[in-house]
Amino acid sequence: MDAKIWIWGMGDAGKLVLNYLKYKGLGVRGLIDNGEKIAHTSYAGYEVCCFDEARYIIGEEELVVCCCSLASYEVFKESLLRIGHNRYKHFYDLDLSDYIFRIVDEGHENRFISKLCTENDFMDRDFQKIHAELIGGEGIRTLHRKHWEWIYIVQVLQYYDLLEEGKSGIGFAVGKEPLPSYFAKKHIDVLASDLTIEDKDAKGWKDTNQHASGNIKALWYKSICGEEIFDRYVRYRDIDMNELPEDEHDYDFCWSSCAIEHLGNLEKSKRFLKNMLKVLKSGGVGVHTTEFNLSSDDKTMEHGDSVIFRKKDIEEMKEWFRIRGHYMEASYKRARTEGNAYIDISPYRSEYRPYHLSLAANGYVETSFAFVIVKDGLKRCDKK
């Protein structure tokens, strides 16, 4: 195969483009990055050079794919034009739809089961109503997967009639999310938990202002519920998701929002999903969102600060629950819409289109997936 393509920018997007070009059988001429920690290193068998070196060897007919923010793209273009090279594209000019839709199924899933984050869900009136209550503002300006996670958790619990006064729920790695306040508004007894702030794994969340830091009032959203209501229904406890306490049990539901992928490795993530059944009463519902690999059902991130579930990992979990009498059904439907096809890249500000449903991360494309598990089987099999 002819090697006629250069990749400039070896962050998450550049690594993704390299994987995509390999998948398409297209040749890569070389890798460019001016970062001090990346230039003059090797990646996937290629030497990474800086632009001042590449400028002398980029061929006239060779394409340069710029994997960077739109602001940086203007700088990249100027540099290329100064050396008389006008064959370049931005990452957003690439069509990767054949790559990211080959694992999923066409269509839209309307049932409240384990499923993928999709643009279509944002069109639902009930979804929009909950969005207004949780996020606020007039209408939905950016379709954001984090908002989808919170709202889908609410919709699932609502479907199972668990958002009624007197019910109880436990949230894991809640950070500063608005769900505890929302559940308190419904007069639900809530135990919100997070890692201890001394835990080394919590440091990154605290540094990015996503950790409750043991301060329960960091979870109070006055736009959602009054302080008195919050104080009455919400309590806090430090909990390590890798070591669930034995004295927490018999909850009607439990939840977490993109937390299980941060437990150290994929096996620990799976182990939590099995262990979380201990905190539920029979018929209780667990809803846990995580990362789903849209670009591979083979290679993925299995170790590190953030792992990515593959379709086959989810099927493995579904079978594990089925054998033990717990209900989990999974759908991989995702329609080929503009929002579902858009891949957001660093700095993840939806700078080209108003979508943050799929993103480039560690050389893969990921979106959110919600696990929905009913302990000891579905309670209301005749509903809907």
pLDDT of residue 377: 86
Contact (CB, 8 A) for 243 and 276: no
> Which of the listed residues 75, 94, 113 is the one where a domain comes to its end?
94
Structure confidence at residue 198 (pLDDT): 58
**Same-domain pairing of 85 and 137:** no
Q: Which domain holds residue 47?
A: 3-94
Residue 213: predicted pLDDT: 55
The model's pTM: 0.93
354 shares a domain with 281:
yes
Same domain, yes or no: 143 and 87: no
Check whether residue 328 and residue 344 sit in a common domain.
Answer: yes
The reported pLDDT for the residue numbered 208 is 45
What tens digit of pLDDT does each residue of 193-223 get? 998 765 545 444 444 444 455 689 999 999 9
Token pair for 239: 């909990």
72 falls within a domain? yes
Same domain, 112 and 247: yes
Residues 73 and 112 in one domain: no
Q: Are residues 278 and 356 in the same domain?
A: yes
Which residue in this structure is represented by tokens 């398409």?
A: 24
3-state secondary structure (DSSP) of residue 207: helix
- 361 within 8 A of 308, measured Cβ to Cβ: yes
Instruction: For residue 171, give the 3-state DSSP assignment.
Output: strand
pLDDT interval class at 55 (50, 70, 90) = very high
> Greatest CA separation found in the chain?
71
**Which of 258, 290, 248, 286 has its CA nearest to residue 157?**
286
How far, in Å, are 136, 219, 242, 330 from residue 33 at the CA level?
40, 41, 38, 40
- Please name the residue that has the structure tokens 């290679």: 299
Question: Cβ neighbours of residue 126 under 8 Å, at least 6 residues apart?
Answer: 155
Digit-coded pLDDT (tens) for 345-382: 988 988 889 999 999 999 999 999 999 999 998 544 43
pLDDT above 90 coverage of the chain, percent: 88
Pairing, β 251-257 against β 280-293: parallel
Tokens 């109880």 belong to 168
Structural domain total, the chain: 2
From 73, 94, 115, give the residue that closes a domain. 94
Of 94, 118, 137, which one is at a domain's C-terminal end? 94
Predicted confidence at residue 290, as pLDDT, reads 99
Residue 381 belongs to a domain: no
Residue 225 lies in a domain: no
CA distance 191 to 248: 10
pLDDT at 340 over 50: yes
Per residue in 13-30, pLDDT (tens digit) is 999 999 999 999 998 999
Query: Looking at residue 272, what is its pLDDT?
Result: 99
Residues 84, 130 within the same domain: no
In a domain, 209, yes or no: no
List, as one string, the DSSP characters of 240-294.
BTTB--TT---EEEEEEES-GGGSSBHHHHHHHHHHGGGGEEEEEEEEEEEEEES
Which has more pLDDT, 150 or 199? 150
**pLDDT tens digits, one per residue of 245-304:** 999 999 999 999 999 999 999 999 999 999 999 999 999 999 999 999 999 999 999 999
Tokens of 156: 């699932």
**Is residue 118 domain-shared with residue 39, that is, in the same domain?**
no
pLDDT at residue 201, rounded to an integer: 53
Check whether residue 141 and residue 282 sit in a common domain: yes
Q: Confirm if 332 and 104 have CB atoms less than 8 A apart.
A: yes
Would you state the structure tokens that stand for residue 313, as one six-digit string? 């990992």
Q: Say yes or no to pLDDT of 160 above 50.
A: yes
Q: What is the CATH number of the domain that holds 108?
A: 3.40.50
According to the model, what pLDDT value does residue 137 have?
80
* 80 in Cβ contact with 8 (< 8 Å): no
Q: Are 155 and 370 in contact (CB under 8 A)?
A: no
Cβ contact 156:370 at 8 Å: yes
Residues 245 and 300 in one domain: yes
Return mean pLDDT, the chain. Answer: 93
Q: What angle do CA 262, 235, 128 make, to 5 degrees?
A: 65
Same domain, 289 and 149: yes
Q: What does the pLDDT average to over 222-227?
A: 97
Q: Express each pLDDT in 66-93 by its tens digit.
A: 999 999 999 999 999 999 999 999 999 9
- According to DSSP, residue 161 is labeled T
Average pLDDT value for residue range 311-323: 98
Question: Do the domain assignments include residue 223?
Answer: no
